[in-house]
Amino acid sequence: MTIAMIGATGLVGGWLWPLLERRGALLVLGRRPSGAAREKLGPMEEWPALLKGERIDVGISTLGSTRKSAGSWAAFEAVDRHAVVAFAKACRKAGARQFLLVSSSGADFGSRNDYLRLKGEVEQAVTALGFERVDVLRPGLLLGERAERRTAEGLAQAAAPLLNLLLRGGLERYAAIEAETVARAMAALAGRPGTGLFVHHNREIRALA
C-alpha cells in the first residue's frame, strides 16, 4: 500500500505519519521536514506537481489552520480549501482509491458559520472526485501540544475536561478528543475495503483507535 499525506507536521499529522510508515510506503508532502523517511518539500502550490510519476493507493490530509494563524480569510482558505482539494485531485490522478480527510465537528456546507461551511464544502469537493472510498473524520476540539501557540485553543483545551462532562449523548461529537486518538483511527482506516462516503465522529473515532 502506497500512501501520500499532507499535514504531517501538524497536531494529528505528527502522531499519524509514524503509524503509517508501519502500514505501507509513505510519501509526505510538506513545506518543512516532518521526520518521515520519504518526503518531498515545496510550497503548497507545488504539491500536486510533486506527485507526478507516483502511484498512490491512499491519500490522506490532516492539514488545517485557523483564520488567525493564517493572517486572513484568503490565506486560511488557501490552506484549508485550495491546498487540500488540489492535493486530493492529484492523489486521484495518481490512482488513489481511498482518501482520508480531517474535517471538523459541525461541518456543514449549508452552515451560516464561515468556518463550518468551508469545511463542509471541502468534504463535498473531495467526495465528488470519484474515489472509491472517502473517510471524513469530524473530531471535536483537538487536544495535544502544537508547535505553534494558539492562545484561544489553549484556553479551550484547559477547559475541555469540564466541558466534556457536559457534552453527552448527541452532543458527544462536539467534545474534545486527543489528537493521538484521531491519528490512530486514521491509521486503522487507511487501506480499508468498501465503497462510499464514511463520516466518523468522536464515538466512531475512539472505537477505531
Q: For helices 114-127 and 84-93, give the axis angle rounded to 10 degrees.
A: 10
Element spanning 185, H or E: helix 179-189
Is 40 known to be catalytic? no
Q: What pLDDT, in 10s, does the model give residues 65-79?
A: 888 888 999 999 999
Selecting among 68, 89, 115, 174, the annotated active-site residue is 115
**pLDDT on residue 134:** 98
CB 107 within 8 A of CB 113: no
Please check the confidence at residue 206 and state whether its pLDDT lies above 60.
yes
What is the spatial distance between Cα 166 and Cα 52, in angstroms, rounded to a whole number? 48
Residue 6 CB contacts under 8 Å (≥ 6 apart), including other chains: 13, 28, 29, 30, 47, 60, 61, 62, 63, 83, 84, 87
Is 93 known to be catalytic? no
Give me 157's grid cell.
Answer: 483545551
What is the spatial distance between Cα 178 and Cα 56, in angstroms, rounded to a whole number? 28
Cell numbers 489528537 correspond to: 179
Q: What percent of the chain has pLDDT over 90?
A: 79
What is the spatial distance between Cα 42 and Cα 49, in angstroms, rounded to a whole number? 10
Q: 3-state DSSP call for residue 79?
A: helix
Please check the confidence at residue 165 and state whether its pLDDT lies above 70.
no
Please check the confidence at residue 153 and state whether its pLDDT lies above 90.
no
Homologous superfamily of domain range 2-204? NAD(P)-binding Rossmann-like Domain (3.40.50.720)
Q: What pLDDT band is residue 82 in, cutting at 50, 70 and 90? A: very high
Domain ranges in the chain are 2-204
